């Protein structure tokens, strides 16, 4: 075999292999970066959205009207977060009764502007000395004619559902901070 025949054979073999590789590709778009993770499948739950929805529902049950919706608050709380945890292990009935002792009939809110709640900064949060790891969220509330306020919530999965485990006020110390979630949940009980 002449050197020219060998080179031609190698070139033909390389061309065939390259053609086979390019013919197998079904992606017509740009190649993904090697460190890019695939997009989550649509059937996987979006935990951040679920957490935001539960946090909003809890805050609305608590503050949207007087008296608060104690039953919804109890259902959206972990057993440990319910005020009756030490008495009966945090049952829903005991929780509602405990809240009613504290909130009673409440004032009439009919003259107040509607409450708006915005949930933001949903994120993973580490365990604190008194609470397990979970998700944190910032709730910002406002009524027309009143000052805006903020609360931070910790939510954890309990019995297969996201529930509120901790609620903390965002005090003046964090007024300059847009995202105080992790800091507050790491240091308060």
The per-residue pLDDT for range 74-103, each reduced to its tens digit, is 999 999 999 999 999 999 999 998 887 766
User: Whole-structure pTM over 0.85, yes or no?
Assistant: no
Asked if the model's pLDDT at residue 23 lies above 60, the reply is: no
The DSSP annotation for the chain comes to --HHHHHHHHHHHHHHHHHHHHHH----SPPPPTTPPPPPPTTS--HHHHHHHHHHHHHHHHHSSSS--HHHHHHTB-TTTSTTHHHHSS-HHHHHHHHHHHHTT----TTSPPEEEEEEEEEEE---SSS--EEEEEEEEEETTS--EEEEEEEEEETTEEEEEEEEE--GGGTT-S--HHHHHHH--
| Average pLDDT across the chain, whole number | 79
Strand partners, 115: 143
pLDDT band at 108 (very low <50, low <70, confident <90, very high): low
CA–CA dist 180, 82 (Å, integer): 24
Of the candidates 104, 179, 174, the residue with the CA atom closest to the CA atom of residue 138: 179
> How would residue 145 be classed by pLDDT, with cut points 50, 70 and 90?
confident
Comparing 103 with 156, the larger pLDDT belongs to 156
> Quick one: average pLDDT of 164-180?
92
pLDDT at 112 over 70: yes
pLDDT at 24 over 50: no
Percentage of the chain modeled with pLDDT above 90: 55
In the predicted model, what is the mean pLDDT of residues 146-154?
Answer: 95
What pLDDT shows up at residue 65?
82
Report how far residue 61's alpha carbon sits from residue 157's, in angstroms, rounded to the nearest whole number. Answer: 20
> Measured in Å, how far apart are the chain's first and last C-alpha atoms?
83
Query: Residue 125 burial by CB count (10 A; 0-12/13-18/19+): exposed, middle or buried?
Result: buried
Q: Residue 107 above 90 pLDDT?
A: no
Determine contact, residues 156/163, Cβ cutoff 8 Å.
yes
Higher pLDDT, 46 or 108: 46
């Amino acid at each position: 075999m002449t050197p020219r025949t060998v080179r031609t054979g190698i070139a033909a073999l390389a061309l065939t292999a390259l053609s086979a590789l390019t013919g197998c590709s079904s992606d017509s778009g740009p190649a993904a970066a090697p460190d890019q993770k695939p997009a989550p499948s649509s059937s996987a739950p979006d935990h951040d959205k679920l957490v935001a929805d539960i946090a909003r529902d809890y805050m609305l049950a608590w503050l949207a009207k007087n008296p608060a919706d104690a039953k919804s608050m109890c259902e959206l709380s972990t057993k440990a977060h319910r005020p009756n945890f030490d008495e009966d292990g945090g049952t829903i009935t005991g929780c509602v009764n405990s809240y009613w002792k504290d909130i009673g009939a409440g004032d009439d809110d009919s003259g107040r502007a509607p409450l708006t709640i915005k949930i933001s900064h949903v994120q993973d949060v580490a365990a604190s000395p008194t609470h397990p790891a979970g998700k944190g969220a910032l709730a910002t509330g406002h009524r027309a004619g009143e000052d805006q306020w903020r609360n931070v919530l910790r939510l954890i999965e309990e019995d297969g559902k996201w529930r509120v485990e901790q609620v903390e006020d965002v005090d003046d110390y964090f007024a300059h901070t847009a995202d105080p979630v992790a800091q507050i949940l790491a240091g308060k009980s």
